[in-house]
Structures are given as structure tokens and as C-alpha cells.
Structure 1
Amino acid sequence: MNIFQDWPEPIVRVQSLSESNLQAIPNRYVKPLSQRPNLLSENYHTKNNPHTAAIPIIDLGGIYTNDITLQAKTFDEISKACRELGFFQVVNHGMSPQLMERAKEIWREFFHLPMELKNMHANSPKTYEGYGSRLGVEKGAILDWSDYYYLHYQPLSLKDYTKWPSLPLHCRETLEDYCKEMVKLCENLMMILSRNLGLQEDRLQNAFGGKDEAGGCLRVNYYPKCPQPELTLGLSPHSDPGGLTILLPDEHVAGLQVRGSDDAWITVEPAPHALIVNIGDQIQVILQMLSNSVFKSIEHRVIVSPAEERLSLAFFYNPKGNVPIEPLKELVTVDSPALYTSTTYDQYRQFIRTQGPRNKSHIDELRSPR
């Protein structure tokens, strides 16, 4: 039986609420007191304030140099960032600033199209592909203050141009160029992570089903202005379900927050023309070592602004849907037993689509009994 037939309640576009000049947000967006952001202490909307953090910025140009020392230093920086924080920024990543800016601009134009044109691409819980305004199918759930657009780029069997927006003009060509560059970057990072673990360069990639079968999809997040940002979130705390996430952030409006080692929420300040990389749940499952995961997927969330809209592009690089996801055999020993039970990405994704973002409870469900 397919439980994903339609949304449990009529869809309301958050952008429409924002543009109606309401003074108070509807109750369905008000988070419980324990989940609300403490915006006064975080001073979230001021750039370069003491509560923001520049997560590590790594120059990927060092990987492709003939300088062995610099190359080794770059590998070490990536390894440290993956082990300690799970998030890092990359520059000299291979994508032109012009393409990055054009990609953001076409999506700003899309979200400012008339509602009837956007709703032609309305999505459903079956695939989430298209124009959406909620995650999860729980009736009566507290929702996030955001709209989004989700589309598949690869494998070829899932790529459907009819699900991509046709407006603004030439948007599909730009999206094609953007996603192609994202896949190149993800493949390079998979090679780097494998080498950092002393594995063959293609080991992680093969665990994802190989280059031709690995999944690649884009979620464009649109966070409208909110009259009561202290009561809600643009995206609830979660770790990403896939393998790698590459985020093209809004450089002008802060919003992404990462849970630090002391459980405090750190507002990320993006570097100019940098991309933000974070480890997803599937890599945490695959790359375990000793008594803990060697690279961890980290919880993050998004806060919203009372004065400015915000837009970001998240590219997800995932395992093939039906490939068993489990700790690599060479990382499992008698002294270091498997921490997680085997699953497939399709099964894991269905679990998350049912419940929506819920901290790291999804990956905790996979932990093997000890």
C-alpha cells in the first residue's frame, strides 16, 4: 500500500502568508517553547557579530597542485573538519561565481512568479519533486516557515525535465550546468574522503552504487520574511539523510545554524563565493570506526528574518536507492562491531518522508542493539 497519496491537509504557501502582511503567524508554525530560537542572544541578523562562526574554509586548489606538502595539508584539513564538525566551506571548488549567482537569480525570479504559475509544479508526498511547502505527512504537525522546490538530476532514470520549472526563461539550461558542476565536486569529495580513510579512491563511490547510479538532487529553499521569527524556524533541526550536501548559501542574510559540540547553535557566516559542505547520515553509517562514527552527520537548522527573504540551494549526493547501506566491511572488526543495521536509501528516505525532520532520531533508529 502506498501511504504517499496526498498531503493530509490543504497546502498553504508560506510566501502567500508573508505577503499578506499578517502581524502574527498562524499557530501551525509556532514551535514548542523548547524548540524556538533564542534570537536575542544569537543576534542572528547582524553580519560579523560575535555569535556567528566562520566554519573552516578550505581551499580545494591545494588538492590539484604539484606541491605534495600543500596537497597533504588540504587532505588533513578536510579530514579534521569531517571528524570534528561535519561542516566546512570550500573555495576554488571549480564552479564559477557567475554560474552560482545566475542559479540564485533564476530561483529568486521563480519564487516571485505569480502563484498560479508556481502551483502548476505543485508536488506530492510520493516523490516530493516540484514546488512544495511542507515535509512529512503527519496530520496536524507543526510546520516550518519555508517553501521549496525539489528536483532530481541523476540517475538518468529519475531525471524528468517536465518536473523542472519552465520559467523563468533559460532556467533549465542554467540548472543543468549548475547540477553538472555539483556532481563533479561531489565525486571529487568522495575520492578525498576515501583517501583520508586509507581506502581505495573509488571505495566510497562504489558503496554509493558507482558514478552512474549515485543519486543527485537539488532542493531550493525559500524563506519568506516572518513577522515573528522568534516563534518559528525556517527548517527544523535535522541531519541530512543522504551522503553529502553542498549548499550555496545566501551571503547577505544569515540563517543556517549548526549544533556545536556544547549543544549551542552556531550561526554560520558564509565566505564570499564559497560552498558549504556537510556530511550526511549515509556516510556516517558507512564510515564507522572503533567505537564511534569516524565522520558524523551534524544537526543543523534554519532561522528566519523579519525584514528580508532568504534563498539557498542545497545539492544532495546520495547512494543508489536499492543499494544496501551498512558499515564498510573493512571498518568492522571484532573489537569494532557494526554500529548500524543494514538498510537501503529508499527505505531510509521513506521513513523520513513519513515523519519530516526530527533531529537525529532517524539515524538512531538504525543503531544495532549492543
Structure 2
Amino acid sequence: MEAIQEWPEPIVRVQTLADAQVIPDRYIKPPSQRPNLNPGTPSSPPTGEAVNIPVIDLGGLSGSAAAKQASMLAVSNACRDWGFFQVVNHGVSPELMRRVREAWREFFYLPLEAKQAYANSPATFEGYGSRIGVQKGAILDWSDYFFLHLLPRSIKNCDKWPALPASLRETTESYGGELAKLCGVIQSVMSMTLGLDEEFLSREFGEAGACLRVNFYPKCPQPDLTLGLSPHSDPGGMTILLADERVRGLQVRKGDAWITVDPVPNAFIVNIGDQIQVLTNATYKSVEHRVIVNAATERISLAFFYNPQDDLLIKPAEELVAPYTSALYKPMSFKEYKMYMRMVGPRGKSQVDSMKLVA
């Protein structure tokens, strides 16, 4: 499938709409897809009930045998039960986390013409963007973003990296290197908690790819009618999210409810992607999530995607297809797989479900 080179309609930057009184029709979701922002409804836990995704102390991995076992068990349980968890004591400097977030916030505060120099296309998505899918007439999400390839270095295009603010390039490079190391640690833990050797996921990923999407969700005059990002599961391997600690926005599906994540200071939010669901034969599952917006302020987050090598076939690992079970998914390369989201945009878990083998 060849990449489409141009967007089907003129691009409007959502940030330019933030001070409007009403939102344009093309951002208004059908009633069944709108967020319910009132407490005590199926979209949020009852008033007074504190619910959050698991928070895991990775410092235990370098502690006693009991502490290491506790951290690994917590990761395993979170991967099976939630598909999402937060990690603290992860080894990345809080100062670096603060600097990279603020550098990108400064970028989105630049004049529009400065940002437009980095406008992206659906061919690679790299650069400054405001939509994901390329279907003409699609209902859009209330967000702008900046997308960058980090790994492998052979596809890194420095011309796409913003020159302003002056600290952005160096800070983003350092941040990407630290998160690639963290992903390696989490891969090892996941592999061992599956009962496999610690290099299992690393081998299956091949020459791993990594990219960064910086999400900017402008304030919205009618937040109950739209979403910052529609429900979806991430198509890649795993995602490390640096959330905006000032304002909540990420929601994770748990059964029939949408749980609003309360970010822990200096933590990362980790979630399983579709490729790990396939590799583990659904032992570890990717989970739908979405983003709500608000009328008071903008929100920024940095999503670091860690993915398998583009041209490797991803399929359930033989070690996890027991004599009494069968492979649930057909083989597919990640390059083929990610074209689906590039065509239609976020669509729940429809892509990974389409890979299921018919019994």
C-alpha cells in the first residue's frame, strides 16, 4: 500500500480555534462518542471512589530479591489486568523531563508561520500536524501535534527538527536516548514475567524503531462535544507517556468505564501496544484509551513509541502457543500494520481485531 502524499482537505490548526465561542462541526462527535464529563456516570467512577491505573516502583528492580520480585509481579499484573501502569524511580532525570516538556510547550507558543515551516504530510507524518487519518470528511480530533522519528538513526531527518526554541533539539535527543534505555528495561521485565528469557522481546523487535509525538490539546469552548484523541489502542510495541501534571486528560477503558488517569509527579505512563499483544498471543493486552479536553487551559503530553523493526513479521511467539491453545493472530509486518491507522485514524481496537485468525 503506497503512502498518500497530501492531505485530502486544507489543514486548520486547532490552536487557532481555541478562542472561538463554538467549535466547527467537523470536530463534533456523534452523541454516542462524546465524553460524559459529569461524575457518577458510566464514563467516570462514582463520586468519592478513587480509581487510578497501577503505580509501580521500578527502583525495586535493583533492590533485594524480594523487592525485585515484587516489582516484576506488579508489572505482570498490570500488563494482564490493565494494559497501563505508571512507573516511578525509573532512572530518567526529573529535570530532563521538565526541560523537554517546557521546550515543546515553547514551540507550540511560537507564531503560526514559524511552526508552519515544519508542516507534515501523510507520507511520513513527520513534522507539525493536526490530523492522523486521511479519509476525506472525517470528524477530526481537537489537537495539534509534532511527530519525529528517532530510531533507527538511518531514517532520522534533522531537517524536520525545529530550530526553535534553541534548546529543543539537544534536549529531545537526550530525552529520546534515556527513554530508549527505559524501554529496554521494561522489555526485559515483561519477557521474564512471561516465563521467557529476558532478551525475548528485544529479539522479536529486531532493530527497534522509536518515534516521538508531542501532543498539544488547546483549550476548547465546548469540551463535552469533542475529544482530543479518539478511542484507540496504540499500534506499536509500547508507549512511554510524559503527561501534563497540571491538568488531567488521558482516559483508559476498564470494562465499560473510562478511568481518568491522575498523573503521579515525575512518573511515566506506560502502555502495551498491539504488537506486544500479538507477540504474547494476548497474554498482555493493548487497551483502548482516549483524551478529553477542557475549556480552561491547554494540555501538552509527549508520547514515545517503541516499535518493532518495520519489515519483520510479527506473530504469536511459539513459546506462548501452548499445546492446548493456538495462535490467535496472523503474521503481519509492522510497516503493513501501521498503514491502517494512517488511512482511517484512531478506530478503537479494530486493527488488531482484524488480525485474528478465524477458528
Give the shorter-chain TM-score range. Answer: over 0.9
**Distance of 1:101 and 1:334 partners within structure 2:** 49
Checking the alignment, whether the CA contact within 8 Å between 1:194 and 1:202 is kept in structure 2 is yes
Counting aligned pairs with the same residue, the percent is 58
Q: Which amino acid aligns with 1:119?
A: Q
Q: Deviations over 1:150-191 (max 9, x none)?
A: 001101111111111111012100001100000000000000
Out of 129, 142, 151, the position equivalent to 2:126 is 129
Which residue is equivalent to 1:323?
312
Report the 3-state secondary structure (helix = DSSP H, G, I; strand = E; otherwise coil) of the residue aligned with 1:107: helix
Out of 150, 161, 175, the position equivalent to 2:158 is 161
Residue 57 of structure 2 is aligned to residue 59 of structure 1 = yes
**Distance of 2:203 and 2:167 partners within structure 1:** 34
Which residue is equivalent to 1:243?
237
Which residue is equivalent to 1:336?
325
Which residue is equivalent to 2:217?
223
Checking the alignment, whether the CA contact within 8 Å between 2:53 and 2:84 is kept in structure 1 is yes
Checking the alignment, whether the CA contact within 8 Å between 1:55 and 1:268 is kept in structure 2 is yes
CA deviation after TM superposition for structure 1 residue 334, in Å = 4.1
**Distance of 1:247 and 1:333 partners within structure 2:** 33
Q: Which amino acid aligns with 1:172?
A: R
Residue 263 of structure 2 is aligned to residue 270 of structure 1 = yes
CA deviation after TM superposition for structure 1 residue 339, in Å = 0.2
Report the 3-state secondary structure (helix = DSSP H, G, I; strand = E; otherwise coil) of the residue aligned with 1:118: helix
CA deviation after TM superposition for structure 1 residue 42, in Å = 6.4
Residue 340 of structure 2 is aligned to residue 351 of structure 1 = yes
Report the 3-state secondary structure (helix = DSSP H, G, I; strand = E; otherwise coil) of the residue aligned with 1:40: coil
Q: Deviations over 1:9-32 (max 9, x none)?
A: 0000000111xx211100000000
Question: After superposition, where does 1:240-319 map in structure 2 within 5 Å?
Answer: 240-261=234-255, 263-288=256-281, 293-319=282-308
Which residue is equivalent to 1:368?
357
Out of 31, 34, 42, the position equivalent to 2:32 is 34
Out of 10, 22, 43, the position equivalent to 1:24 is 22
Any gaps of 5 or more consecutive residues in structure 2? 42-46
Change (3 A) 1:140 1:51: farther
Any gaps of 5 or more consecutive residues in structure 1? 44-48
The TM-score normalised by the length of structure 1 is: 0.94
Q: Deviations over 1:24-70 (max 9, x none)?
A: 10000000000000112369xxxxx74663211111010012x1011
Which residue is equivalent to 2:44?
none
Runs of 4+ in 1 over 2 A off after TM superposition: 49-54
**Distance of 1:64 and 1:244 partners within structure 2:** 22
CA RMSD of aligned residues (A): 1.4
Checking the alignment, whether the CA contact within 8 Å between 2:52 and 2:259 is kept in structure 1 is no
Moved more, 34-43 or 176-185: 34-43
State the aligned residue count: 355
**Distance of 1:51 and 1:99 partners within structure 2:** 34
Which residue is equivalent to 1:176?
173
CA deviation after TM superposition for structure 1 residue 2, in Å = 2.9
Which residue is equivalent to 2:15?
15
Which residue is equivalent to 2:84?
87
**Distance of 1:160 and 1:314 partners within structure 2:** 19
**Distance of 2:337 and 2:135 partners within structure 1:** 17
**Distance of 1:58 and 1:3 partners within structure 2:** 39
Which residue is equivalent to 2:145?
148
Q: Deviations over 1:226-278 (max 9, x none)?
A: 000000000000000001100000111010000012x1101000111110000
